[in-house]
Amino acid sequence: MDVDLAFRALHERQARRHLLLLFDFDGTLCPFSPDPEAVYLTPAVSRLLGSLACKPASTVGIISGRRLPDLHKRARVAREIYLAGFHGLEIEAPGAAFMHPDAAAATPLMRAIADSMQSCLPALPGVFIEDKVFSIALHYREAAEDIRIAARDRFLAAAKTDLEAGRLRALPGACVIELLPGVAWNKGRALEWIRERVEEIHGPTFSVYIGDDVTDEDAFRAVGPHGMTIAASDRAAGAEFRVDGPESVRRLMQLIDRGTP
């Protein structure tokens, strides 16, 4: 789907509503890297986010699977924006903050699963466990296909009892599976939390969410009829428009920043 087409639709449909622009981070604002530690906003994207955030007619935010302290390090923006980490379980807003009361409930379970996987990792080249304190993620982007299958099977088998009991939930993504607390909260609920606060200040919003993976589909569903959903890859289903990766997202941001079709 063409960037210009998405922008023209946004420009025509926004009317006089306040623009709420929300983005995923990895794969949307930044290209993927086999090493999660290597991912940072480029200066150009950081400047665009800051420019959009300082406009009185728009509010900007990022909703990521990364923890908030990690986002702070990687998403440096010179203006105040909304930041939601841990798939929305923690949110930092101008003058407000939110942490889901059950965010830490399953930490001992996940620590035990991570420990049980450590002995397997030497036999699974290209696979590693990322410890996010309140969640754990199995990454296998650099692994061969047979190793990927074996790693996923072992990881899910280690979590099987807790997944079936609802104490944990598994969230698949692009070459990653993350184990999260089994609570009814996701990026869509985070979007609603942010939108409610923005509308208290600015009135009705035209909400735009841009994401690239299955983890963003809850946010697509939460946008509703008074907004627009944009997939930044073909990994994510359910979006109205599609653009091709972070570079296309950057070009769309430039058009929105300029404000004319």
Asked whether residue 11 falls in the same domain as residue 79, the answer is yes
- 83: tokens are 């930041």
Q: Does residue 96 sit in the same domain as residue 8?
A: yes
Average pLDDT of 220-240? 95
pLDDT, average across residues 184-202: 96
Q: At 78, is the pLDDT very low, low, confident or very high (cuts 50, 70, 90)? A: confident
Query: Are residues 95 and 115 located together in one domain of the fold?
Result: no
Same domain for 75 and 59, yes or no, is yes
| Mean pLDDT confidence for 213-224 | 95
Asked whether the beta carbons of 132 and 36 are under 8 A apart, the reply is no
**Mean pLDDT, to the nearest integer, of 181-188?**
93
How many CB atoms lie under 10 A from the CB of residue 251? 16
- Is the domain of 202 the same as that of 137? no
Mean pLDDT in residue range 28-40: 91
Give per-residue burial for 61-71: e unless 16+ CB within 10 Å, then b: bbbbbbbbebb
Same domain, 27 and 116: no
Alpha helices of the chain — where are they, by DSSP H?
Answer: 3-13, 43-53, 68-74, 107-118, 145-164, 187-202, 217-223, 245-258
H or E element: which one contains 231? strand 227-231
- Residues in the chain, total: 261
Read off the pLDDT of each residue in 113-120 and give the average, rounded to a whole number.
90
Query: What per-residue confidence (pLDDT) applies to 260?
Result: 55
* Per annotation, catalytic residue among 2, 4, 24, 162: 24
Task: Look at residues 115, 113, 126, 122 and name the one whose alpha carbon lies nearest to residue 155.
Answer: 113
Do 206 and 230 meet the contact criterion of CB atoms below 8 Å apart? no
Residues 96 and 199 in one domain: yes
Active site residue 212: no
**Parallel/antiparallel/unpaired status of strands 90-93 and 176-181:** unpaired
Clarify whether residues 25 and 51 are in a common domain.
yes
Listed residues 128, 147, 181: the one ending a domain: 181
Arithmetic mean of pLDDT, 39-67: 96
User: Which two structure tokens, joined as six digits, stand for 35?
Assistant: 């090493």
- C-alpha count within 13 angstroms, C-beta hemisphere, residue 230: 32
Q: In which domain, by residue range, is 166 found?
A: 107-181
Q: What is the pLDDT, as a whole number, of residue 122?
A: 93
**8 and 93 part of one domain:** yes
153: its two tokens = 């099977």
Picking from 7-16, 32-41, 120-129, 211-220, which range would have the lowest pLDDT averaged per residue?
A: 32-41
Neighbouring C-beta atoms of residue 214, cutoff 10 Å: 15
Of the candidate ranges 2-6, 219-223, 229-233, the one whose mean pLDDT is the lowest = 2-6
Give the CATH number of the domain where residue 208 resides: 3.40.50.1000
Q: Is the dihedral of CA 182, 188, 192, 195 positive or negative?
A: positive
pLDDT digits (tens, 9 = 90+) for 122-179: 999 999 999 888 899 999 999 999 999 999 999 999 999 999 999 999 999 889 999 9
Question: How many CB atoms lie under 10 A from the CB of residue 233?
Answer: 20
Q: What is the mean pLDDT of residues 70-84?
A: 93
- Tokens 């939930």 belong to 169
| Residue 33: pLDDT over 90 | no
Amino acid letter for position 176? V
Q: Which token pair is 171?
A: 């969230």
188 touches 218 (CB < 8 A)? yes
Average pLDDT, the chain: 93
DSSP string, 90-131: EEEETTEEEE-TTTTTTHHHHHHHHHHHHTTGGGSTT-EEEE
Residue 261 has pLDDT above 70, yes or no: no
* Closest listed residue to residue 141, CA positions, set 177, 115, 114: 177
